[in-house]
Amino acid sequence: MHAIIETGGKQYRVSEGDTLFIEKLDAESGGKVTFDRVLAIVNGETTHFGAPTVSGASVTGEVLKHGKTKKIIVYKMKPKKNYRRKQGHRQPYTQMKINQITV
């Protein structure tokens, strides 16, 4: 069984026992998080699609840790104008483990 959930403006395909990196959540490490924006659930031959969400469905997970991704360089330049800007960015994330999918 797997589900498609929406969090942080993105959609993720999850199954029970999956570990995934999502946009940072306000939850403590080791805490439980419930996602109720479930867009679809596939269980073998049966499929439930929401309009826009599946009513009564939820996905429960556990927060493993918080962190930041690798640094990327944001570089702006305008040729022949002596304009150069260099900036770094590290996106924060939350690592989750999916425990249960309920319909």
User: pLDDT tens digits for 40-77?
Assistant: 999 889 998 988 999 999 999 999 999 999 999 999 99
Can you tell me the mean pLDDT for 72-88?
A: 97
As a whole number, the mean pLDDT across the chain is 94
Query: Using CA atoms, how far apart are residues 38 and 61, in angstroms rounded to an integer?
Result: 13
The CA angle 58-33-98, to the nearest 5 degrees, is 70
Can you tell me the mean pLDDT for 70-87?
A: 97
pLDDT reported for residue 44: 86
Over 90: is that where the pLDDT of 3 sits?
A: yes
